[in-house]
Structure 1
Amino acid sequence: MCLGAALGACAGAGGGGGYVAVGGAGRSGPVDASPTGSVTMVPLDGPKGGGTTSPGTAGSPSGATDSGPGPAQADGSPLPSTPDPPSPTGTRTGADAGAGTNPGAGDGRTTPAPAPPDPAPAPTAPPAPAVLSWGEPVTADGDQRWCQKVTVGFRNSGGTAVRSGSVTFGTHVIGALGIDWSTVRTSEALPVPIGAGARTDHTWTVCLDAWRVPLGMHIETRDLSVQWK
């Protein structure tokens, strides 16, 4: 009856003065269906529990549906949340370590950097040429008046050995009264090789033609010149 009265009231509110048939099937004619007592309105649709909506339903700006409370223990308290596993720390190994040191190595091994090439040796300067010097001739009498023993000292202060050359002596013919009558030049070979930084002495026997030195005259070798290479 309450439900029928409610429906009748809704129909009457539509502006057409609606009526609801109430009573036995044999009665006819209009019946006033307006409620005369207290009426309890029962909603037909909508959420239970007093008609309130929870956040996240159709009235929520986000339009998301609340998933409701999570799982609980036997006594009603919520289950403890499981902490996230800790981030790995320490030394990287395997592919991680290999990726950090050499992007091209996928087996975890570190490829050593190539060794720098050996520096090119500095160009070696060519050795200095030979530099030959000599002293004054030291003379001694020979077996004949037209011969004389001549000793000369040589020194090579260069960086290369003296391998060939000649020495030319200037031999003077001296008369009985000390007069220098003539000068005769003769050449002899150098005592080679004379190494770099080496010093050597050599003695030659210098002789002139006998007819150039008559009886009562003698010879003296006073000067010399040297050619070498």
Structure 2
Amino acid sequence: MFYDFHIHSCLSPCSNDDMTPNNIAQMAYIKELDIIAVTDHNSLKQQRAVYDACAKVNIKVMFGVEIQTIEEVHVCCYFRTIDDCDIFQIWIDEKTNKIKNNELFFGKQIICDSDDTIIANEEYLLINSLNVTLNDCIDKVHECNGKVVLAHVLDRVNSVTHQLGFIPTDCKFDGLEVKNLNQMMIVKEKHPWIKDTFWFINSDAHQLIDISEKENAISSKEFEMFWGKTL
């Protein structure tokens, strides 16, 4: 299955306003992807519309969100059911700093329905850190039956290696995100204790054109193994 598991919709203030659920689904269809995840900053409120839009073009969805922890580390958190998303969203709301968004400065935070009609604008700024540590975030994701992938682990900003200087040995992540195979080799060289994990190459797209091409694939068996099932 060709995938892209790190895409931002128009709910993320740093993303283009035309990153609506249907536009994302249509671009993924044009690029011949089989499965995607939309991972907006600190919010799962666009997930139902994304699922419905992707169903129209027969693209599978893994529910997701990109959390920023108190250490300013970005973590992609994934779920298999909308019910788990709803439970995790309640926790997000409890941990959110209630700072109102300034659309002129940060950008709009648009919530759409399955027809791309705007139904709300998120009031509170989504690109702040939640009041939660990296380890506590991971524990909560697992409690909600989710999986954790440390986002863009070699990026200069908001990666675990930039914010902490290294990947802690006690960090209970389920996978690591890199931009290419060369980055994967660098991470392995710097962290020889990492033996068995799942590696993902995603776009981190904030505009439609940046959604991944038909390049990176995961088999159905590997996908189920990621979720802790054996076939």
TM-score with structure 2 length normalisation? 0.16
**Counting helix residues as a fraction of each chain, which structure ranks higher?**
2
Larger strand fraction of residues: 1
Larger radius of gyration: 1
Larger RCO (alpha carbons 8 Å, 6+ apart): 2
